[in-house]
Structure 1
Amino acid sequence: MMAPWLQHLRSCVLSHVNAAALIVFLLVYFLVSFYQKRRRLANIPPGPRSWPIVGNFGGFLLPSFVQRRLGKRSAGSGSNAASVLTEQAAVYGNVYSLFVGSQLVVVLNGYEVVKDALSNHPEVFSDRPGIPAITIMTKRKGIVFAPYGPVWRRQRRFCHATLRNFGLGKLSLEPCILQGLTTVKSELLRLSEESGGAGVDPAPLISSAVSNVICSLILGQRFHHEDHEFRTMLGLMVRGLEICVNSPAVLINVFPLLYHLPFGVFKELRQVEGDITAFLKRIIAEHRETLDPANPRDLADMYLVEMLAQQAAGEEDSSFTEDYLFYIIGDLFIAGTDTTANSVLWILLYMVLHPDVQDKVQAEIDDVVGAHRVPSLTDKGSLPFTEATIMEVQRLTVVVPLAIPHMASQTTEFRGYTIPKGTVVLPNLWSVHRDPTVWDDPDSFNPARFLDHEGKLLRKECFIPFGIGRRVCMGEQLAKMELFLMVTSLLQAFRFRLPEGRPPPPLQGRFGLTLAPCPYTVCVSLRR
């Protein structure tokens, strides 16, 4: 029998051996991990110094944020996250790296680089990353944020074909767009007259009119602009996007557990998500209960019919489910409202800031359309300066300035650098539209750049406000129709100006998923 002291000595030796073995194992593990990461990132694009855990993305943009808060940048400088990222291309090149925590992000700047990645390498750069804040809310389903692959292609193909059946891109949709403009015009005039010269905020009316177009297509119904629940949903939509991108909630992308914190913007984000979810799921339930498969009324009905058909055919792995329909409707509802509404608001703002251009657009509308006929899509080809003005505002403002983040689906060599699989890729569309190699004096507002020497409209390959490649905006044609009809109808009827003595809003805008103009009011007066 072993003596007690010998047993104690043996246990001490074993414990030390085990501790030493654990230390050696951890040391080897961390060394291997370090060298694997170093090897994986050996040839990534250059970029600013990254710090452990936190990375460098937040600190990279913080100086600009602080400067704007302190008023050190001019109101007209157009400074925002996208412009800051564009400025850094002069330091690191048109392809450079950032880190959000440990997540590698590659920023693509300039037309040639963005086109090369998204058009020439679509199989590599068409995927979507699993960004925690977005993934928590979308579950990587729908159209906008879903990963690239067979399921996404099938869902997008179905939605695009269905929307075309209901008038997307066709003249038959024109009455639906014009219907809401009657209310917009009457309310703008009434509210402006009642304001006593203080002006009216056009955003709620414009947002309601735009949203009702997409609601007609996907939900088969329109909402009154004063409908409390509808207005609440539009407000929640805007607020949710702002929280995700422009508040401390962005830290969810580094520390996902922050999403569950019971206070502040984290709690607010969960409430926004819950309210929008309840609104959309109630509408889907109403569609299911009133569905007539022989007479589908809208995209939701068509989707439910397709879902039932696949269930009847025994397709067990079908992705057509009510759950997926919920995320598709959410995508189309938000994307079909926010981007177009903000574009219209930017155009009106530029008209009041450039009254000479407003005069010229109105003179062209008067010559072609006159005072008594409502503008039509058939007038597009006869209003080149009006079209050029719309395009120039889109170029300068770029309502989705960083596109929707892409992801490298495999490790690839791009422009001399290694882009590892899983890298988040940001196509900086702001930089494309401010690229001095393809635009003369790119920071100036000049609609004539889209006209030739005969005054005819010029289509420029480097003008890509709706993106490029396989992830190009599905609603591009609808947005173009809405922009043209709304802008021409409003400028035909009204003269817009800023209230007396009130400075113009800063032009850097409010950066959410889209770039919205800062709130402003306008005085509206009948032209005749």
Structure 2
Amino acid sequence: MSGAGPAGWFLLQLLRDPVCCALLAAAGVLLGLCWLRGHPRSRPRLPPGPRPWPLVGNFGFALLPGPLRKKWLSGARGGQGDSRPPAPHLLLTGLAKVYGSIFSLFVGSRPMIVLSDFEAVREALVGQAEVFSDRPSVPIVAMLTKKKGIVFAPYGPVWRQQRKFSHSTLRHFGLGKHSLEPKIIEELKYVKEEMLRHGKNPFNPFSIISNAVSNVICSMAFGRRFDYEDIEFKTMLRFMSRALEISVNGLLLLVNICPWLYYLPFGPFRELRQIEFDITAFLKKIIAQHRDTLDRENPRDFIDMYLLQVEEAKKRNSESSFSEDYLFFIIGDLFIAGTDTTTNTLLWCLLYMSLHPEVQEKVHAEIEVVIGCDRVPSLTDKTHMPFTEATIMEVQRMTVVVPLSVPRMASETAVLRGYIIPKGSLIVPNLWSVHRDPSIWERPDDFQPTRFLDENGQLIKKETFIPFGIGKRVCMGEQLAKMELFLMFVNLMQTFTFVYPGNARKPAMEGRFGLTLAPFPFNIIALKK
């Protein structure tokens, strides 16, 4: 039994205990009776979908023996016979071809409604925004966020208050303004220095890009940037990326059915708890340093402004949601969400440019005409560079960095396209499917920046292009991300020609699925122009 692994050992200990065996047997009988009486799929007018298993719902396929799981997945792919487990966004896109643009799955006994085309997403998130703007109480998310912050907090007065303050404060420190340009351009000096060190040798750009993007948000939130060789900073960025990857994959998904699994002392459960502990210590140390050095007349950054807001609320003795505890979770959101999404989009940009040299040549040509070789790029150049902007947009369409958005929850029972959506249902907008919809995008799997240009070469704004989501929970950092993407991409393309190593295997372009979609590790050559 030594090859069974920790999970097998754990199950064996349970089976050796007569009390546990009796409880398991009783649970089996109870589940059988419930199954004989019917299952949630029988509820009237619920969107169609595959039949759920008892207790685990449709996530039971992960527990199937290998041959049966391959058969199930093959059916989800429409009989193509591919036995490789698809990433969740690809699996859900395949299921939409079988069950339609709105279908349902079950997480345990809880309905999960998947929206797979633009009209369904818009009708729910915009047309019925008050109903579909809440966040679900998912056990693993609740354990990590305590239902606080901006990204995962429940929809309501506290969320609106915190988001309004956060957005206005970030704008004070440059969000969406030209005053932030110098910080982004300054950071790019370090990026180019790091890339030039490699000469004509291939290198992995992940850490360089991640450091730069993170330092932009750190300058606004923490009032400082970190050196690229700072061990603690590099470790936090690595932990952050790893946590986003493992928290929505494999065994950790079972925590949402049996929350006590989170505390198991082995495997990904232990790894995620350790990452949570280390990131918490890192961020709380920064908040404590700010509290000890706070100059009330000259706030330096977001943390200072928030601490002043906490003090003001205490003076008024008012019921306020502002506290150092809540600040910690907002800072976590800014640090993680403000780094990972833009980092991955820029990495995808570099990868696509190296694999499509003909597109890269056109971007170089436009930069040469509009900016030249010596002048520093500016946001004012954006309107004069439609092909470059279309190229960035096409990378975003192809790779939708948050492919399943962040799940919503129906705060009350609603009707959507004739189907009943029960109160408490999970709502999953499949943004990957929206951006690969052949009824909207001609040859959607092809990389074609010109799809965003009209016959005169001018940029076309498409309402179906929604990489940042739509509705009341649209990404708060959209303006910052667009600034960073344009300035960083153009600056790098002005300086380098990116080449994919000729002897290297092309990475799988479906990407690594976590909460965000990252490219698989790749090396690249940056040739000085």
TM exceeds 0.5? yes
Displacement of 1:38: 5.3
Q: Report the Cα distance in structure 1 between the residues aligned to 2:317 and 2:482, rounded to whole angstroms.
A: 40
Q: Report the Cα distance in structure 1 between the residues aligned to 2:83 and 2:463, rounded to whole angstroms.
A: 31
Q: Any idea what the Cα deviations from partners look like across 1:471-518, whole Å, max 9, x if unmatched?
A: 000000000000001110111110111112111111011001000000
Out of 250, 253, 260, the position equivalent to 2:253 is: 250
Structure 1 counterpart of 2:152, which letter?
Answer: F
Out of 129, 132, 135, the position equivalent to 2:136 is: 129
Moved more, 461-470 or 491-500: 491-500
Q: Report the Cα distance in structure 1 between the residues aligned to 2:477 and 2:162, rounded to whole angstroms.
A: 14
Q: Any idea what the Cα deviations from partners look like across 1:54-94, whole Å, max 9, x if unmatched?
A: 11135289649989xxxx8699xx96321221121111011
Cα 1:382–1:235 change in 2 (3 A) is same
Q: Secondary structure at the match of 2:106?
A: strand
1:234 pairs with 2:237:
yes
1:112 pairs with 2:119:
yes
Q: Secondary structure at the match of 1:52?
A: coil
Identity %: 59
Q: Report the Cα distance in structure 2 between the residues aligned to 1:219 and 1:97, rounded to whole angstroms.
A: 42
What is residue 13 of structure 1 aligned with on the other side?
none
Contact 1:342/1:399 (CA < 8 Å) preserved in 2? yes
Displacement of 1:247: 3.0
Structure-to-structure mapping, 1:31-430, within 5 angstroms: 41-57=43-59, 59=61, 63=70, 80-193=87-200, 197=201, 199-315=202-318, 317-430=319-432
Structure 1 counterpart of 2:457, which letter?
Answer: G
Structure 1 counterpart of 2:129, which letter?
Answer: P
What is residue 16 of structure 1 aligned with on the other side?
none
Contact 1:128/1:406 (CA < 8 Å) preserved in 2? yes
Q: Report the Cα distance in structure 1 between the residues aligned to 2:37 and 2:278, rounded to whole angstroms.
A: 44
Q: Any idea what the Cα deviations from partners look like across 1:318-345, whole Å, max 9, x if unmatched?
A: 1100000000000110000000000000
The structure with the larger Rg is 1
Q: Secondary structure at the match of 1:448?
A: helix
What is residue 15 of structure 1 aligned with on the other side?
none
Moved more, 53-62 or 112-121: 53-62
Q: Secondary structure at the match of 1:245?
A: coil
Q: Report the Cα distance in structure 2 between the residues aligned to 1:39 and 1:73, rounded to whole angstroms.
A: 28
Contact 2:70/2:83 (CA < 8 Å) preserved in 1? no
Displacement of 1:246: 1.9
Contact 2:61/2:72 (CA < 8 Å) preserved in 1? no
Q: Report the Cα distance in structure 2 between the residues aligned to 1:487 and 1:521, rounded to whole angstroms.
A: 18
Q: Report the Cα distance in structure 1 between the residues aligned to 2:37 and 2:135, rounded to whole angstroms.
A: 27
Structure 2 counterpart of 1:482, which letter?
Answer: E
Q: Any idea what the Cα deviations from partners look like across 1:438-468, whole Å, max 9, x if unmatched?
A: 2111111100010011101111000000000
Moved more, 381-390 or 436-445: 436-445
Q: Any idea what the Cα deviations from partners look like across 1:237-265, whole Å, max 9, x if unmatched?
A: 01111121123112111111000001111
Q: Any idea what the Cα deviations from partners look like across 1:88-112, whole Å, max 9, x if unmatched?
A: 1111011101112222111001111
Q: Secondary structure at the match of 1:504?
A: coil
Moved more, 348-357 or 429-438: 429-438
Structure 1 counterpart of 2:357, which letter?
Answer: P
Q: Report the Cα distance in structure 1 between the residues aligned to 2:341 and 2:72, rounded to whole angstroms.
A: 23
Structure 2 counterpart of 1:460, which letter?
Answer: K
Q: Report the Cα distance in structure 2 between the residues aligned to 1:80 and 1:493, rounded to whole angstroms.
A: 35
Cα 1:192–1:53 change in 2 (3 A) is farther
CA RMSD of aligned residues (A): 2.4
Q: Report the Cα distance in structure 1 between the residues aligned to 2:184 and 2:332, rounded to whole angstroms.
A: 20
Contact 2:133/2:155 (CA < 8 Å) preserved in 1? yes
Q: Report the Cα distance in structure 1 between the residues aligned to 2:83 and 2:391, rounded to whole angstroms.
A: 24
Q: Any idea what the Cα deviations from partners look like across 1:182-208, whole Å, max 9, x if unmatched?
A: 111111121244xxx4x1000100000
Contact 1:339/1:514 (CA < 8 Å) preserved in 2? yes
Q: Secondary structure at the match of 2:498?
A: strand
TM-score computed with the length of structure 2 as normaliser: 0.89
Q: Any idea what the Cα deviations from partners look like across 1:122-176, whole Å, max 9, x if unmatched?
A: 0110000011111101000000000000000000000000000111000000011
Contact 1:73/1:79 (CA < 8 Å) preserved in 2? no
Q: Report the Cα distance in structure 2 between the residues aligned to 1:258 and 1:268, rounded to whole angstroms.
A: 13
Q: Secondary structure at the match of 1:106?
A: strand
Out of 441, 451, 460, the position equivalent to 1:449 is: 451
Out of 468, 473, 482, the position equivalent to 2:475 is: 473
Q: Report the Cα distance in structure 2 between the residues aligned to 1:475 and 1:206, rounded to whole angstroms.
A: 18
Cα 1:157–1:34 change in 2 (3 A) is farther
Q: Report the Cα distance in structure 2 between the residues aligned to 1:60 and 1:169, rounded to whole angstroms.
A: 43
Cα 1:106–1:60 change in 2 (3 A) is farther
Contact 1:50/1:99 (CA < 8 Å) preserved in 2? yes
Cα 1:491–1:411 change in 2 (3 A) is same
Structure 2 counterpart of 1:249, which letter?
Answer: L
Instruction: Structure 1: give runs of 5+ residues left out of the alignment.
Output: 1-25
Q: Report the Cα distance in structure 2 between the residues aligned to 1:369 and 1:400, rounded to whole angstroms.
A: 32
Out of 489, 492, 498, the position equivalent to 1:490 is: 492
Instruction: State the aligned residue count.
Output: 489
